[in-house]
Amino acid sequence: MLDLYVFYRLAAAIGIGLIIGLQREHTYLDPSSRHPAGVRTFTLVSLAGAMAALLSDQMGGVAPFITGIVVIGMLLMASHVSFAIGRRRQEPVAEGAPVTGDGITTSVALVIVYLLGGICWYGRLLESCVIVVVMLWVLSAKEQLHTFAQKLSKEDILATVKFAVISALILPFLPNQAYGPHGLEVLNPHTIWLFVVFISGIGFVGYVLIKLVGPGKGIWLTGLLGGLASSTALTLNLAGRSRENEDYASDFTLGIVLSWAVMYVRLYLICIFLSTALAKPLMMPLLLPVVPALAYVLYLKIKEYRDHKQKTSDFSNPFKLLPAIKFGIVFTCVMFVANAARVYLGSGALLACSFLGGAAEMDAVAFSVIDMNLKSGLGVKELVLALLFASLANTITKGVLVCVLGAKSMRRPIIPAVVLICAVTGGLIAYYMTCV
C-alpha cells in the first residue's frame, strides 16, 4: 500500500537541501569558479541522508547511514585536495594573502544537511526546521559574526568562560532540595544559584546585544527580554552596571522601566494560563499599570532625543560574580521573611504576606494565590487584591534598588516611574477594596 507519509518525509529532506543550497549559491562571489557544492549537490545529499536512514530503518542497523556519511566525507576530501592542487598550478597564493573559509563552511554545511535528511526520515520535522533556520542565519550573517568576533576582547572571552562555569558546571550539581526550619523550607541551593545565573545571564545577553546593535537598542532589547525572564534580576543588573557606565544611565533607566511594563504582561499571561477563568477579572488590575510605564518610557525616549546627550565612555563588560551572589543572598532573605509571615501570620494576613512576597518576586505570589483560588476557594476579589499588593511592593522594592545601587543620575528619572505605577496600583487597590 502506498504510504504518503514516506513521500512527505522525503520531500521535507529535499526542501531542506534545496533551501540551504540556494543560500550557498548566492554567497559565491564568482559563479563560474569551482566550489565544493551547490544547490543540486545539497539537494541530493539531503535526499541521500533520508534514503540512508530509510535503508537503516528497513535493515535494522545503522550501517547504510554511517556508510553514506563516510562516502560524503571522502568525496569532500577529494574535492578539497583537487581544488588545492588546481589552485597551486594556476594561481599561486601570494604570501600574506587572506584565505577564505567558504569552502570549509560549505563542506560542514553539506554534512549537516545529510544529517538533517536522516532526521527528516525519523519524523523530527519541527526540529529540522529549527536547525535550518539557525543554519541560514549563521551562513548568511558571515560579515556580522566576523565583525562581532573582532570587537570582542580577552576580557569578553573570559567573561563568557566564567558565565559557562557558573551556569553549566556549578548549577547542575547543586542539590535541588529545600532546607530550613520546619514550615520554612525555602533555602534551596539550586533555586538561589539559579537566581544568580539569572542576574549574570541577563547582563551577559544584554552585553552581547549591545555589541551587536549598539548601546541604545541593545539596552532596550535587554529590558524587553529581562522583563520576560525576571524584572527584579534585570533591575539589579542594570542598576549595578550604571555605576561603571554612567553615560548610559538614561538608557538603563529606559530598559528598567520597560522591563517593569513587560513584567505585568508576563504575569497576566501566566495567570490566565493557570486559570482561563481569570482572564477578564485580571485584565484591568494587571494591564492598566502597563499604560503609565510605557508612557513614561516614551517620554524618556523623546527627552533623550531632544537633549542629544553625547556618550563618550566605552561600555564595560558586565560580568562580576560577587555582586550577583550578594543579590542572590538578599533575594533569599526576602523570600525567607515572606514565607515566615505566611506561616506565622496565617491565611488571614493574605495581603501582608502577598506584600512581603511581592517584594522579592511576583511569580511566587501569583502561583500561590491562584492555587488557593482553585483549591481552597479563595475569592476573585481577594486574589486580585493580593496581586495588587504584591505588585505595589515589587515596584517599590525595584525603585529602591535603583536609587541605592544605581548611578546618581538614575535616581531622579526613576522616581516618577515608581510614583506613576504605584499611584495607578494604589488607585486600583482602593477601587477593589471599596467599590467591588
Output the nine-digit C-alpha cell for 340. 515566615
pTM (2 d.p.) = 0.60
> Quick one: CA dihedral 194, 195, 196, 200, positive or negative?
positive
pLDDT of 113 reads: 93
Q: 380 to each of 70, 285, 376, 394, how far by Cα in Å?
A: 64, 12, 12, 21
Residues 28-85 pLDDT 10s: 655 555 566 788 889 999 999 999 999 998 888 889 999 999 998 888 888 877 766 7
Residue written as grid cell 518576586: 361
Which residues fall within 8 angstroms of residue 91, CB to CB, at 6 or more apart? none
> Quick one: CA dihedral 7, 10, 15, 18, positive or negative?
negative
pLDDT of 415 reads: 93
pLDDT of 276 reads: 87
Output the nine-digit C-alpha cell for 413. 528619572
Count of beta carbons in the 10 Å neighbourhood of residue 49: 28
pLDDT of 418 reads: 94
Q: Of 281, 265, 290, which Cα lies nearest the Cα of 381?
A: 281
What residues does each domain of the chain span?
4-89+100-140, 150-434
Where the chain has pLDDT below 50, the residues are 93-101, 312-313
Residues 163-220 pLDDT 10s: 777 777 788 888 888 777 776 666 778 877 877 777 667 666 666 666 666 655 667 6
- Calculate helix-pair angle for 321-345, 350-358, nearest 10 degrees: 180
Phi, psi (rounded to 5 degrees) for 187: -85, 85
Q: Of 324, 322, 335, 323, which Cα lies nearest the Cα of 397?
A: 335
Distance separating alpha carbons of residues 48 and 398, to the nearest angstrom: 57
